């Protein structure tokens, strides 16, 4: 069961700190109507402002017809929103798959067996299996070589009931070993 964290809550500071910890995330996106959706793996994500709460995600724009990143880039360009979904290590294989297959020719949610759920504000869905979901609206973007950095303002935050206590993240989720990091995905290649 997802709970909503009010953006004015003092616990938002914990979310900002937690997200600056180098997690690999799943970003969900969709067209404006929410009828076409996709999910991709993003390792370049960081909080960038306290007030308003802003996050940066960097996505390869690719060349025309270049699969996942180009497709996700186009969806975010059209809708001007995305959701940052934080997985735990038990989703490592799904996170890897989301970064290796292309969503333009298939429903990646079905293929990877992830559950999209309706978001409160954005057309882009939340991912049920992820412990933390941050709905964002794009407020700025800029090119950095072959990537585009989208600056998203958090418009809603959702979390699983066992993730937070009244003092912040529960001990289970303070452990970096429970989160997915880029080295987890590349360990067989390094």
Q: What is the pLDDT of residues 14-43, one digit of tens each?
A: 888 788 778 899 999 999 999 999 999 999
> Which residues have a Cβ under 8 Å from the Cβ of 104 and sit 6 or more positions away?
38, 67, 68, 70, 71
What distance in Å separates the CA atoms of residue 81 and residue 62, rounded to the nearest whole number?
Answer: 19
* Average pLDDT of the chain, as a whole number: 89
Query: Encoding tokens for residue 15?
Result: 């979310």
pTM for the whole thing?
0.91
What radius of gyration, in Å, describes the C-alpha atoms of the chain? Answer: 15
Residue bearing the bigger pLDDT, 101 or 12 = 12
Tell whether the model's pLDDT for residue 48 goes beyond 70.
yes
From the list 118, 1, 5, the residue with the least C-alpha distance to 53 is 5
pLDDT mean over 91-103: 88
- Half-sphere exposure (Cβ direction) of 17: Cα atoms closer than 13 Å: 10
How many structural domains does the chain have? 1
Query: Encoding tokens for residue 141?
Result: 């973007």
As a whole-number percent, the residues of the chain with pLDDT over 70 amount to: 92
The CATH number covering residue 179 comes to 2.30.110.10
Domain enclosing residue 140, as ranges:
2-186
In tens, the pLDDT along 128-169 reads 999 999 999 999 999 998 889 999 999 999 999 999 988 888
What distance in Å separates the CA atoms of residue 142 and residue 148, rounded to the nearest whole number?
Answer: 6
Question: For position 60, what pLDDT does the model report?
Answer: 84
């Amino acid at each position: 069961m997802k709970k909503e964290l009010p953006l004015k809550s003092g616990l938002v500071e914990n979310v900002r700190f937690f997200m600056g910890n180098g997690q690999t995330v799943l970003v969900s996106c969709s067209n404006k109507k929410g009828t076409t959706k996709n999910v991709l793996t993003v390792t370049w994500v960081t909080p960038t402002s306290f007030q308003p709460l802003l996050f940066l995600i960097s996505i390869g724009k690719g060349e025309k017809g270049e699969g996942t990143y180009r497709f996700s880039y186009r969806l975010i360009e059209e809708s001007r929103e995305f959701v940052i979904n934080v997985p735990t290590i038990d989703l490592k294989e799904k996170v890897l798959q989301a970064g290796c297959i292309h969503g333009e020719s298939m429903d990646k949610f079905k293929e990877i067996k992830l559950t999209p759920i309706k978001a409160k504000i954005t057309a882009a869905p939340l991912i049920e299996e992820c412990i933390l979901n941050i709905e964002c609206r794009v407020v700025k973007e800029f090119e950095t070589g072959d990537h585009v950095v989208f600056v998203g303002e958090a418009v809603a935050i959702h979390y699983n009931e066992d993730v937070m206590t009244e003092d912040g993240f529960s001990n289970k989720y303070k452990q970096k070993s429970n989160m997915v990091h880029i080295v987890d995905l590349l360990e067989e290649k390094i």
